[in-house]
Amino acid sequence: MPAFTAATVLSPRGAIDRGVLLVDGGTVVSADPAAAYVQDSARSAAAIVDFGRAVIAPGYFDLHIHGGGGFDVMDDDADALPAIERLLARHGVTSYLPTTVTAPLDTTLRALERLAGAIEAREMDRTKMRGALTGRPTSRESFAGRAQPLGIHLEGPFISHARRGVHPPQDLLPPTISTLERLWQAARGRIRMMTIAPELDGAIELIAAAVERGVCVSLGHSDADFETTERAIAAGARHSTHTFNAMRPLGHRDPGIIGSLLTNDLVTADLIADGIHLDPAIVKLIAHTKGREKTVVITDAISATGKPDGRYHLGSMEVEVKGGRCESGGKLAGSVLTMDAAVRNLAKFAGWELSEAVATASRNPALVLGSNNKGVLAPGADADFLVLDCEGRVLRTFAGGMECLS
């Protein structure tokens, strides 16, 4: 039963000075001040790893990521997800939703089948790990040092032609229950988030159907007006995809979708804090409007992440990357942002403390999906945690209590 200590431990109760994180197997047992820890003889017998002046924080959870390390999550390549997941872990992400981009329906269905298989393999691995605690043999080598996919984010095909960004127009589809059912079956029920434009014919009905299946419906790639967005929220939509980007602009007499998303307290909002997709002042606007509990940072990272400038792909599209800017046909096409950089940027742009920015990448995205065992260092939660320096750079990453060394 190892214990980890550092100058600060970020717990649900707040920042603990000289805290101690106790882990048993892959689960958090406690996060307490050192003084309370040493008074408990059962716990004080554990071996302690001291990270000195560092910060122990919950592992990050990226709700929107298309790829990295030269690979796309939709690639039909056995090396794709392992490479992406190792890159994610190096930048503090321990959980993520592989995110599709609009493609021919058959291509999307095949990708969903592959992603569902990867998710199931990780779930089986976790079951084996729990079995190891009771003496049953197990192996974890194949998944060591990697972030874990916890479901799929379906971005497209139910989005607006007017606000599609770089999504191929010929592959956009009207929102119908029958198409959702095909996607759902291919993903074997692993779709956890779906981005949809609420103004499309049939969208409100589809939102309600998706919510019934336990999907977090996120509004985005949309030209909706204020009233239509409010109807979508009433139908069960609860999140906003890369807020401001690929949306009808905010007007002082025509607030549109952004006006609804920013002012409706039922909605959480994610954003890309790379300084390219949004001016820092707009990042601050979103953060201060939605607040510390409803703001979520994402990366929207593509295959070029972690690679030098050049030509890469997002789904079937070619993307040119130069100076951190990703473009296809003159339009922004995802990012090369990493989550640790996003957290640091948010803290800087919004004027927040590091601990507050960390929550937007850990606790808040987990709560968006209703995951109580991710994103927090609380008793019973998964032992996914990071060791950060005082400026938020990742020093070490632990997933399920095991260090990610790759």
Task: Write the CB contacts of 404 (distance below 8 Å, at least 6 apart in sequence).
Answer: 86, 89, 90, 94, 144, 145, 146, 396, 397, 398
Contact 295, 273 (CB under 8 A): no
Q: CA triplet 98, 392, 385: central angle to 5 degrees? A: 55
Query: Whole-model pTM?
Result: 0.95
Q: Classify residue 248: in a domain, yes or no.
A: no
Domain residue limits at 310: 60-150+267-373
**Each residue's pLDDT tens digit, 105-142:** 999 999 999 999 999 999 887 666 555 544 433 444 46
Q: Classify residue 360: in a domain, yes or no.
A: yes
Q: Classify residue 210: in a domain, yes or no.
A: no
The answer to whether 265 is a known catalytic residue is no
> Which phi and psi (to 5°) does residue 171 adopt?
-105, 0
Q: Classify residue 397: in a domain, yes or no.
A: no
Among candidate residues 300, 340, 382, 384, the one labeled active-site is 300
pLDDT at 140: 46
In 10 A of CB 112, how many CB atoms? 24
Max Cα-Cα span within the chain: 66
306-331 as b/e, with b when 16 or more CB fall inside 10 Å? bbeeeebbbbebebbbeeeebebeee
Secondary structure string (H, E, C) spanning the chain:
CCEEEEEEEEECCEEEEEEEEEEECCEEEEEEEHHHHHCCHHHHCCCEEECCCCEEEECEEEEEECEECCEECCCCCCCHHHHHHHHHHHCCEEEEEEEECCCCHHHHHHHHHHHHHHHHHHHHHHHHHHHHCCCCCCCCHHHCCCCEECCEEEECCCCCCCCCCCCCHHHCCCCCHHHHHHHHHHCCCCEEEEEECCCCCCHHHHHHHHHHCCCEEEECCECCCHHHHHHHHHCCCCEECCCCCCECCCCCCCCHHHHHHHHCCCCEEEEECCCCCCCHHHHHHHHHHHCCCCEEEECCECCCCCCCCEEEEECCEEEEEECCEEEECCEECCECCCHHHHHHHHHHHHCCCHHHHHHHHCHHHHHHCCCCCCCCCCCCCECCEEEECCCCCEEEEEECCEECCC
Q: Classify residue 328: in a domain, yes or no.
A: yes
> Which phi and psi (to 5°) does residue 7 adopt?
-60, -35
Domain count, the chain: 1
Q: Classify residue 362: in a domain, yes or no.
A: yes
Beta bridge partners of 194: 154, 217
Q: Which residue in this structure is represented by tokens 């790990």?
A: 129
For residue 302, give the CATH number of its domain: 3.20.20.140
Q: Classify residue 357: in a domain, yes or no.
A: yes
pLDDT at 125: 77
**Each residue's pLDDT tens digit, 348-357:** 999 999 999 9
pLDDT at 256: 98
Give the span between the Cα atoms of 11 and 355, in whole angstroms.
Answer: 10
Q: Classify residue 28: in a domain, yes or no.
A: no
Give the span between the Cα atoms of 329 and 331, in whole angstroms.
Answer: 6
pLDDT at 39: 61
Give the span between the Cα atoms of 50 and 54, in whole angstroms.
Answer: 9
Task: Write the CB contacts of 138 (distance below 8 Å, at least 6 apart in sequence).
Answer: 128, 129, 131, 132
Residues with pLDDT less than 50, the chain: 133-141
